[in-house]
């Protein structure tokens, strides 16, 4: 059976070079990084080299990069520490953030009685910047803004510099879930006054189970996980050296090939958009995903014209044809719940129709798009 993988926003295929480097570390660099003998020092060197590689690309300091198990842990760490250690009493976020942020914020409201404000959304799903400015200026409470750079379901791009400067002007901290953008977009934390960011290696052709948090210096955060003094005291636990090496290799390759690969993936998205509009004229594009400037080049989210009854079997039919895609965030798709993102921005009529996210990467082809469009057209 032909197979097509259009779900890279959920997770990506691991590059061959990443697998090779990880295997070499697993085979020969098995010392505990906290040990002082030669085996331990060799492992520690791998970790610190990776930290420097990431910091240099982001224009950050090595000590500002903290390795975590992925984006969810990094988001939890930053939000919790901002409240517990950073004197934050008000969190401003949006109703279409990833649940790693939304659920954490709700827990912090219950545990610490923090005030949670949700910025209004434009009809396309982008935060209303005027409303954000109003919320920031409302009082003198210590605030943290948490808004994702790229929405993982509809692909909208936040004006990160605008938000960062608004936060700075109002003496607020700024955290952005950048899981969908690290490895796909250039970053310079010297030019963009952002305080906290998060990344996950499996979003840019690295291994699962490893990511990092960028935490600007002098944040004075204490660890959430206690034990040893790993990660410069920020996160206890023996580091997964092979995963960190895999993250570094994937990260380096992502940025070394960024211009070429982003142009190729953008061409795939453009081709998909044109092909599906021709095959199914009534199709709608959710959010800003059909806009080259306001949306990421890596994904497209489409609303298909069919009855709710028929829609129930759409993803099953796609799976039978070997096509992998997502009806929403992969973190939620197994729960049976609808998309909390689309529920905020779609009209009631369109909420009843199936919306599918197709996300692309360097391994995809136009032939795969042709096959997928044919399957969709036949089913619709």
Residue 338 pLDDT = 82
Q: Where are the domains of the chain?
A: 4-12+259-379, 16-256
Q: Write down the pTM of the prediction.
A: 0.95
How do the pLDDT tens digits run along the chain, 380 residues long? 799 999 999 999 999 999 999 999 999 999 999 999 999 999 999 999 999 999 999 999 999 999 999 999 999 999 999 999 999 999 999 999 999 999 999 999 999 999 999 999 999 999 999 999 999 999 999 999 999 999 999 999 999 999 999 999 999 999 999 999 999 999 999 999 999 999 999 999 999 999 999 999 999 999 999 999 999 899 999 999 999 999 999 999 999 999 999 999 999 999 999 999 999 999 999 999 999 999 999 999 999 999 888 888 998 999 999 999 998 544 444 445 789 999 999 998 899 899 999 999 999 999 999 999 999 999 99
Domain 16-256 - what CATH class?
alpha beta
Look up 331 and say whether it is catalytic: yes
Residue 328 pLDDT = 55
Sign of CA dihedral 33, 38, 39, 42: positive
Query: Catalytic residue among 81, 303, 331, 361, which?
Result: 331
Tokens of 329: 């965030």
As a whole number of angstroms, the distance between CA 349 and CA 5 comes to 29
> What is the DSSP track for 280-335?
-TT-EE-TTTT-TTTB-TTEEEEE----HHHHTTHHHHHHHTTEE-BSS-TTTGGG
Domain 4-12+259-379 - what CATH class?
alpha beta
Degrees to nearest 5, angle at CA 35 with 34 and 37: 145
Give the other-Cβ count within 10 Å of 221's Cβ.
20
């Amino acid at each position: 059976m032909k197979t097509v993988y259009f779900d890279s926003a959920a997770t990506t295929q691991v590059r061959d070079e990443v697998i090779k480097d990880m295997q070499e570390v697993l085979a020969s660099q098995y010392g505990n990084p906290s040990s002082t003998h030669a085996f331990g020092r060799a492992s520690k060197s791998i970790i610190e080299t990776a930290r420097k590689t990431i910091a240099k690309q982001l224009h950050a300091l090595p000590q500002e990069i903290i390795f975590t198990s992925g984006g969810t842990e990094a988001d939890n760490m930053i939000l919790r520490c901002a409240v517990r250690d950073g004197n934050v009493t008000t969190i401003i976020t949006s109703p279409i953030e990833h649940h790693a942020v939304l659920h954490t914020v709700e827990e912090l409201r219950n545990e610490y009685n923090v005030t949670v404000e949700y910025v209004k959304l434009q009809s396309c799903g982008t935060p209303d910047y005027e409303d954000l400015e109003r919320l920031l200026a409302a009082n003198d409470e210590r605030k943290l803004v948490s808004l994702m750079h790229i929405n993982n379901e509809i692909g909208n791009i936040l004006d990160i510099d605008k938000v960062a400067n608004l936060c700075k002007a109002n003496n607020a901290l700024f955290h952005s879930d950048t899981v969908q953008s690290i490895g796909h977009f250039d970053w310079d934390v010297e030019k963009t006054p952002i305080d906290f960011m998060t990344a996950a290696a499996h979003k840019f052709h690295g291994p699962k189970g490893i990511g990092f948090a960028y935490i600007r210096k002098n944040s004075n955060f204490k660890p959430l996980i206690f034990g040893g003094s790993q990660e410069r005291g920020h996160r206890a636990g023996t580091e997964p050296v092979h995963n960190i090496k895999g993250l570094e290799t994937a990260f380096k390759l992502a940025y070394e090939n960024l211009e070429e690969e982003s142009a190729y993936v953008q061409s795939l998205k453009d081709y998909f958009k044109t092909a599906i509009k021709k095959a199914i004229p009534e199709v709608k594009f959710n959010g800003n995903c059909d806009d080259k400037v306001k949306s990421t080049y890596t994904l497209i989210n489409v609303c298909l014209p069919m009855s709710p009854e028929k829609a129930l079997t759409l993803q099953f039919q796609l799976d039978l044809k070997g096509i992998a895609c997502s009806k929403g965030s992969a973190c939620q798709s197994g729960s049976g719940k609808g998309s909390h993102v689309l529920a905020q921005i779609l009209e009631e009529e369109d909420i009843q129709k199936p919306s599918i996210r197709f996300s692309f990467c360097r391994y995809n082809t136009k032939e795969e798009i042709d096959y997928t469009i044919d399957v969709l057209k036949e089913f619709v």
